[in-house]
């Protein structure tokens, strides 16, 4: 795998990555290093840092920071269905959920203070949860591999953490175009 496209300096990133080890072994194998507990953490760190660097100039002031913190989890359909029901009142599994810690930042409110109030603390963005099982089905439907689908879903979740939303077709088209630009510099 290659690194993200060069550009602005990547911010520091405190990434908590996990892949549910009870997922089907064939899916974990198909996801490759992106689902590996050790290699995946490094690869995701590299990619998300690169994406944040690419977006630095367009972020609202409240979301501009030298360091960020977020979580990324790869889970199965049962776990994401439970989260989808609990948090969105929607039945069944979905592909990706984003739990933004800075929702108010896009509404002009100050960012969430970090414990201890340290200025050098990473800005907490929240958590991205991706269903590996749903991602595998969608990859097949879209005619690309699971790794490409995981990158697509991770960029989608990251944009949600940064305040993007898609309440209508125009917003969705803009969000998908931004995802494509982020992914363009990322090889799988």
Burial 116-135 (b: 16+ CB within 10 A, else e): eeeeeebbbbbbbbbbbbbb
pLDDT at residue 51 is higher than 60? yes
User: What are the structure tokens assigned to 179, written together?
Assistant: 């995802």
Q: Please state, rounded to an integer, the average pLDDT across all residues of the chain.
A: 88
Q: What is the mean pLDDT of residues 94-105?
A: 85
pLDDT at residue 111 is higher than 50? no
Nearest to 65 by CA among 116, 10, 4, 5: 10
Q: What is the mean pLDDT of residues 168-178?
A: 94
Domains of the chain: 12-184 (3.40.390.30)
pLDDT at residue 93 is higher than 50? yes
The string of DSSP letters for the chain reads --PPPP-SPPPEEEEEEEE-TTS-HHHHHHHGGGG-TTHHHHHHHHHHHHHHHHHGGGS-GGG--SEEEEEEEEE-HHHHHHHHHHHH---S--SEEEEES-GGGGGTPPPPPPGGG-TTSPEEEEEEEEEHHHHHHHHHHHTS-HHHHHHHHHHHHHHHHTT---SSHHHHHHHHHHHHHHHHT---
* pLDDT tens string 113-129: 444 445 578 999 999 99
Higher per-residue confidence, 24 vs 108: 24
pLDDT at 9: 83
């Amino acid at each position: 795998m290659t690194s993200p496209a060069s550009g602005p300096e990547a911010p520091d990133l405190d990434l908590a990555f996990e892949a549910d080890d009870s997922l089907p072994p064939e899916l974990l194998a198909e996801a490759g290093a992106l689902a590996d507990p050790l290699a995946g953490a490094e690869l995701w760190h590299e990619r998300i840092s690169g994406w944040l660097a690419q977006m630095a100039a367009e972020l609202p002031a409240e979301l501009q920071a030298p360091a960020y913190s977020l979580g990324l989890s790869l889970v199965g359909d049962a776990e994401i269905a439970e989260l989808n029901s609990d948090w969105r009142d929607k039945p069944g599994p979905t592909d990706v959920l984003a739990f933004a810690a800075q929702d108010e930042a896009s509404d002009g409110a100050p960012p969430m203070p970090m414990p201890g109030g340290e200025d050098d603390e990473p800005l907490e963005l929240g958590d991205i949860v991706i269903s590996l099982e749903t991602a595998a089905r969608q990859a097949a439907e879209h005619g690309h591999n699971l790794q490409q689908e995981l990158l697509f879903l991770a960029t989608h979740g990251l944009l949600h953490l940064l305040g993007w939303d898609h309440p209508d077709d125009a917003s969705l088209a803009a969000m998908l175009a931004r995802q494509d630009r982020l992914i363009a510099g990322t090889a799988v």
